[in-house]
């Protein structure tokens, strides 16, 4: 759905009203998903005073998928959010001029994955042909599946895709109703473990290990808000980086911040989910050498070329529309 001129104007009015009321230190933040392990660093940034140290009061709202925060931020309902940058690229192509861009990369290596079961015949990408794949339509991993299929010479017509809901995705695989699903590696894997699927029966095909050059989820900002409040955005990103540094240094220490907001969560399982995201998606060779938050221009160009193989851009793709390092320190945030 295209973002209308009226919505864009509403976004600008929302930002202007916020500024006029002197409430720019209140920064609502839209997450991509539920309050699970990888959300702990953001709550730690609140509880450990990192947002407050930057003069910010932050309230975090859960999301319903990695595309969810984009329209929330674009319409001005939230000044900051967390979303899949590849979905943002398509959104901005379909909604040119929408006031939203990525300002800090978090998942340098995206968690997009196909998760199957050895006992159901899934051990490598080619095994998906002739099988049923469960995929939630709003899922960020499903959005990238055509690129994964193209990079691995899969015949999409030979794969039966069954639209499923997020709550039923892993149970359907656990019950053998589908042979594989799309999802975030750390989420779907541990959800299957929790459902009693033996770990040695789970196949995780991380798309980044099978040809994808794409980046993953990033902090996104409403550009009207960012241009009017550059210090607030820079301070927000610094606090996020500090929250992740706390989590990397001691994952167990940040779990109480998560459990306080989600008392029903299994602390041990969510800590493991956080650790998986740190090891596979956040602390990479690139972020170790170059700091957290930045991107490599050549890799982004390659990612856009991959997207072009499965998506017809309405306009001319321009990386500068999708990501800016203007609110990051030079060299990003060191993780040590």
| CA dist list (Å): 54 to 25, 28, 106 | 9, 15, 20
Q: Are residues 198 and 273 in the same domain?
A: no
Instruction: Note the pLDDT of residue 99.
Output: 98
Write down which residue in 184, 209, 234 finishes a domain.
209
Tokens describing residue 42: 């953001």
Could you read off the pLDDT of 85-98 as tens digits, one per residue? 999 999 999 999 99
Please tell me the least confidently modeled range out of 66-75, 154-163, 248-257.
Answer: 66-75
Q: Is the pLDDT of residue 25 over 90?
A: no
**Residues ≥6 apart with Cβ < 8 Å to 158:** 129, 130
Instruction: Note the pLDDT of residue 36.
Output: 96
The percentage of residues in the chain with a pLDDT greater than 70, rounded to a whole number, is: 93
- When divided into structural domains, the chain yields a total of 2
Q: Are residues 189 and 128 in the same domain?
A: yes
Instruction: Note the pLDDT of residue 167.
Output: 94
Q: Are residues 157 and 275 in the same domain?
A: no
Q: Are residues 96 and 36 in the same domain?
A: yes
Q: Is 255 helix (H, G, I), strand (E, B) or coil?
A: helix
Q: Are residues 30 and 170 in the same domain?
A: no
* Measured distance CA(278)–CA(284) in Å, rounded: 9
Could you read off the pLDDT of 178-197 as tens digits, one per residue? 999 999 998 899 999 999 99
Owning domain of residue 150:
112-209
* Measured distance CA(133)–CA(131) in Å, rounded: 6
Say which CATH number the domain at 239 has: 3.40.190.10
Q: Are residues 81 and 137 in the same domain?
A: no
Could you read off the pLDDT of 137-181 as tens digits, one per residue? 988 899 899 999 999 999 999 999 999 999 999 999 999 999 999
Q: Are residues 265 and 200 in the same domain?
A: no
* Measured distance CA(125)–CA(205) in Å, rounded: 7
- Phi and psi at residue 113, in whole multiples of 5°? -150, 160
Arithmetic mean of pLDDT over the chain? 92
Q: Are residues 13 and 77 in the same domain?
A: yes
Q: Is the pLDDT of residue 16 over 50?
A: no
197-200, long-range: CB within 8 Å, 24+ apart, which pairs? 197/117, 197/173, 200/118
* Measured distance CA(151)–CA(129) in Å, rounded: 14
Q: What is the enclosing helix (H) or strand (E) of 322?
A: helix 319-322
The percentage of residues in the chain with a pLDDT greater than 90, rounded to a whole number, is: 88
| Strand pairing class (112-117; 202-206) | antiparallel
Q: Is the pLDDT of residue 9 over 80?
A: no
């Amino acid at each position: 759905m295209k973002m209308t001129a009226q919505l864009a104007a509403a976004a600008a009015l929302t930002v202007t009203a916020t500024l006029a009321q002197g409430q720019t230190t209140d920064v609502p933040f839209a997450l991509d998903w539920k309050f699970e392990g990888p959300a702990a660093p953001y709550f730690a940034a609140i509880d450990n005073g990192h947002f407050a140290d930057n003069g910010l009061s932050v309230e975090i709202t859960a999301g319903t998928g990695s595309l969810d925060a984009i329209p929330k931020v674009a319409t001005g309902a939230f000044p900051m959010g967390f979303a899949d940058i590849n979905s943002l690229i398509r959104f901005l192509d379909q909604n040119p001029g929408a006031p939203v861009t990525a300002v800090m990369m978090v998942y340098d290596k995206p968690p997009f994955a196909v998760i199957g079961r050895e006992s159901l015949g899934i051990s490598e990408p080619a095994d998906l042909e002739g099988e049923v794949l469960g995929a939630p339509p709003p899922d960020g991993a499903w959005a990238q599946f055509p690129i994964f299929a193209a990079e691995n010479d899969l015949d999409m017509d030979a794969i039966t895709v069954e639209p499923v809901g997020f709550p039923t995705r892993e149970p359907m695989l656990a019950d053998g109703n589908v042979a594989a699903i799309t999802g975030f590696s750390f989420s779907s894997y541990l959800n299957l473990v929790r459902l009693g699927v033996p770990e040695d029966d789970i196949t995780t095909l991380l798309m980044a290990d099978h040809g994808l050059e794409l980046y993953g989820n990033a902090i996104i900002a409403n550009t009207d808000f960012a241009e009017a409040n550059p210090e607030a955005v820079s301070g927000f990103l610094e606090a996020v980086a500090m929250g992740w540094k706390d989590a990397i240094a001691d994952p167990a220490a940040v779990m109480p911040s998560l459990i306080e907001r989600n008392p029903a969560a299994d602390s041990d399982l969510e800590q493991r989910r956080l650790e998986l995201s740190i090891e596979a998606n956040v602390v990479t060779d690139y972020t170790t050498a170059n700091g957290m938050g930045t991107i490599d221009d050549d890799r982004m160009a390659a990612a856009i070329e991959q997207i072009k193989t499965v998506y017809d851009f309405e306009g001319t793709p321009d990386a500068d529309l999708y990501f800016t390092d203007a609110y990051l320190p030079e060299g990003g945030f060191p993780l040590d």
